[in-house]
Amino acid sequence: MKKIDVKVRLEKDASLPAYATDGAAGMDVRAIESGEIKKNEIKLVRTGIFLEIPEGYEAQIRPRSGLALKHGITVLNSPGTIDSDYRGEICLILANFGKEDFVFQKGERLAQIIFSEVVKAEFVLTDQLGKTDRNEGGFGHSGRN
């Protein structure tokens, strides 16, 4: 398993993201404030976390499966990408697709953060692409089952 050092600055009362178990891929991210996300509402939730991600890496903000299943809470732009040159506060764009308003407390785990290596692509212009069995088939082309 590869490890990287990520510099972090925390506002007063913010919590450092942490792995919940030894096998966890993502670290839980906690809210720095209490609040409410009404059903069918989108809300920006502050974390009080500021990162310096090493060049060649990104951070991704993802939903927590338990909140998604039990309350319909998800990260709207999942995964939310945090570039290595961003130095602002990490905020969560959360959406409530549940049947009830969702109240959260300061310090509650609302999302998770994962770090990944970035591969930069260079486009090569061409007049023709290679053929495959699938070719242009998409959007359910292989059937439902």
127 is in an annotated binding site: no
CA 135 from centre of chain: 31
Q: What pairs with residue 28 in β-bridges?
A: 18, 112
Measured CA to CA, the distance from residue 104 to residue 86 in angstroms comes to 27
84 is in an annotated binding site: no
64 is in an annotated binding site: yes
pLDDT in tens, 49-88: 999 999 999 999 999 999 999 999 999 999 999 999 999 9
- The position carrying tokens 């409530």 is 96
82 is in an annotated binding site: yes
66 is in an annotated binding site: yes
65 is in an annotated binding site: yes
pTM of the model: 0.88
Give the domain ranges of the chain.
10-117
Q: Which residues of the chain have pLDDT under 70?
A: 141, 145
Asked: is 10-117 a CATH 3.40.50.300 domain? The reply is no
